[in-house]
Amino acid sequence: MAATAVATPRHQRRLERRKRTLLPFEQAPDHYRDNPHIRHWYRPPANFRKSLASLFRLHNETGNVWTHLIGFLIFLFLTAATAAIHQALASVLEVKGPVSRWPIYVFTAGAMVCLLTSATCHLFGCCAAHITAVMWRFDYAGIAVLIVASFFPPVYYGFLCAPWVRLFYLVTTSLLGLSTLGVTLGPAFQRAEWQAYRAALFVGLGLWGIIPMLHGLAANAGEAAMVQAMSLDVLMGAIYIAGAVMYATQFPECLKPGAFDVAFHSHQLFHVAVVVAACIHYKAVRILLAWRDASGGCLPPMPAAPPLA
């Protein structure tokens, strides 16, 4: 045993010492155990201070916390950059644009709410059961907020010149989001056996976006910006769905339980998919915004100058 200890790299010994302070699946509290394929690295029940300190320690929630905490910082930067670009454009453009930015801020705010709520819930998920039960409801609610907020920029800019159509889609989407929110806040929705249904509900809410997307493409037929934005949003949807499928099927840890306890398990991959897809959607929104800025929103085209005599 001594020879083995000497031959073991220093970082490996640190990992082993850290692992001994954590719990296997069988000893973890019931409200932790929603994935039997994650076999170890569960934090013991802790108070607020110890939970906060675990932000910089290795356990099976470390990746879940940091993937969305970094995502929150990315969207905080994008929000600030959008505001700075808007101010710069407003100072140089007179007759044309820039058009309103509030739909973008709705989206980036929704992304930040979702990502920060998720990171917080995963960080403090080792608190008492009655506390975590409430926190996880807000985690799922944050996903619904992000999905609904994602609709606002493409609907607003795609139907900028059709206010009643725009209003219909924004109101309908908001009502669907509120309905989803009501379901996610129910106590039964938090149970492990509902995991596949949770993923399906969020995927269904996101798929509603196909209708206004195709309508917007038809209403602006031939507009290159709409085609580019739609292509990016199709990619965004594919990434979201892939992440949701991995989350629902607990892939890849279901193939080799215990091998993905700390890194690359389904929940982490789902988190990465959410951040990547949201960034792709932001790029699509910027394309639509640049198009509307360049065309002056819904201003009528400037009359051609009369020919010189």
Write the single-letter amino acid at 261. D
Look at the block and give the residue holding tokens 């809410």.
Answer: 205
> For 52-295, which CATH class?
mainly alpha
Indicate the residue type of 152. F
Exposure on the CB side of residue 278, measured as CA atoms within 13 A: 34
User: Beta-carbon neighbour count of residue 52 at 10 Å?
Assistant: 12
pLDDT averaged per 10 residues in sequence order, the chain, 309 residues: 48 80 92 91 92 94 97 97 80 63 96 96 86 82 91 96 95 91 74 71 85 93 93 93 90 96 96 97 96 78 51
Most distant CA atoms of the chain, gap in Å: 100
Distance CA 98, CA 77 (A): 21
pLDDT value of position 7? 43
| CA nearest to 19, candidates 62, 49, 51, 64 | 62
Separation of alpha carbons 213 and 173, rounded Å = 13
- What is the model's pTM? 0.87
59 is in an annotated binding site: no
- With 0-12 / 13-18 / 19 or more C-beta atoms within 10 angstroms meaning exposed / middle / buried, residue 208 is middle
Three-state secondary structure string covering 226-237 = HHHHHHHHHHHH
Distance (Å) of CA 131 to CA 63, 122, 127, 276? 21, 12, 6, 30
Check the annotation: does 130 bind a ligand. no
122 carries a ligand binding annotation: yes
Give the pLDDT score at 6.
41
Question: pLDDT at position 40, please?
Answer: 95
